């Protein structure tokens, strides 16, 4: 049985008492262990069950905030209909049946095509790297490449993309993210807070791209970093398995609080 630090337990107790609560989570590295091939990722069953149970509680909203495109996120996460979705680091959103799909301007579409060409040219000459297309961007994946090849590919891609005015480039774990829509997970959290009217937010992430999300948290919110690395999150757990314990404790505390 995993025992959570006392300060994190106290923070979850305060969070569970919020009138309206938003539980916003990154997927890869938080709900699901990191894997070499993105399509193979699946949430830990206990974490998925806890998220589903939280979504069923009164005045409790759940959301996934991911760098994945919405289509990819739905494929691997199989989210409940009640779970709100933010994809492509905030460029895409699903907030209900009436949510409008992302539509690029002609200028953005042209810029995206040029970014795709730039990254594809790098992939062709760096074995083990590959390109992922998203509605608002492209991603250079280097997890399957040797370290020196990966570093060279990232440098080459960064140089090529630096020649394109208006492209947002973000580093991640063995990825280089490119987007023609300038946004981040922090903006996604702010939008979800406004949409749900949440009085408090739990946000958990594992990557450098999640730091924008931690920066968007307010007093009374709880940020949890999953895994190693510098972070502004006040709390940390070692792995997705340990984060399951965070979700299960929050679920138990909120159920108990609402039963009073």
What phi and psi, each to the nearest 5 degrees, are found at residue 38?
Answer: -60, -35
pLDDT score at 100: 67
Q: What is the pTM of this model?
A: 0.82
The pLDDT confidence band at residue 215, using thresholds 50, 70 and 90, is very high
Q: What is the pLDDT of residues 60-115, one digit of tens each?
A: 999 999 999 999 999 999 998 889 999 988 888 898 766 667 778 899 999 999 99
**Is 86 within 8 Å of 66 (Cβ atoms)?**
yes
pLDDT score at 103: 78
pLDDT score at 18: 97
Enumerate residues 6+ apart whose C-beta is below 8 A from 78: 43, 48
- Percentage with pLDDT > 70 across the chain: 98
Query: What is the arithmetic mean of pLDDT over 205-216?
Result: 95
CA angle, residues 245, 76, 167, in degrees to nearest 5 = 105
Query: What is the arithmetic mean of pLDDT over 204-228?
Result: 96
Q: What is the pLDDT of residues 22-61, one digit of tens each?
A: 999 999 999 999 998 888 999 999 999 999 999 999 999 9
């Amino acid at each position: 049985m995993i025992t959570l630090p006392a300060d994190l337990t106290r923070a979850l107790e305060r969070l569970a008492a919020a009138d309206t609560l938003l539980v916003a989570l990154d997927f890869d590295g938080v709900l699901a262990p990191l894997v070499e091939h993105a399509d193979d990722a699946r949430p830990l069953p206990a974490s998925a069950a806890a998220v589903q149970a939280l979504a069923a509680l009164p005045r409790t909203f759940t959301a996934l905030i991911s760098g994945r495109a919405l289509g990819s996120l739905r494929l691997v996460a199989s989210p409940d209909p009640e779970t709100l979705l933010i994809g492509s680091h905030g460029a895409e959103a699903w907030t209900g049946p009436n949510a409008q799909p992302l539509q690029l301007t002609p200028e953005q579409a042209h810029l995206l095509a040029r970014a795709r060409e730039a990254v594809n040219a790098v992939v062709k000459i760096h074995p083990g790297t590959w390109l992922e297309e998203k509605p608002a961007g492209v991603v250079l994946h280097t997890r399957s490449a040797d370290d020196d090849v990966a570093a060279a590919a990232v440098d080459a891609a960064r140089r090529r993309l630096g020649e394109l005015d208006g492209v947002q480039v973000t580093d991640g774990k063995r990825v280089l993210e490119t987007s023609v829509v300038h946004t981040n997970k922090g903006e996604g959290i702010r939008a979800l807070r406004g949409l749900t009217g949440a009085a408090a937010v739990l946000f958990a992430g594992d990557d450098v791209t999640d730091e924008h999300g931690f920066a968007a948290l307010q007093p009374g919110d709880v940020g949890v970093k999953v895994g190693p690395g510098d972070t502004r999150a006040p709390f940390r757990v070692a792995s997705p398995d340990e984060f399951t314990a965070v979700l299960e404790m929050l679920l138990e505390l909120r159920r108990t609080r609402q039963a009073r």
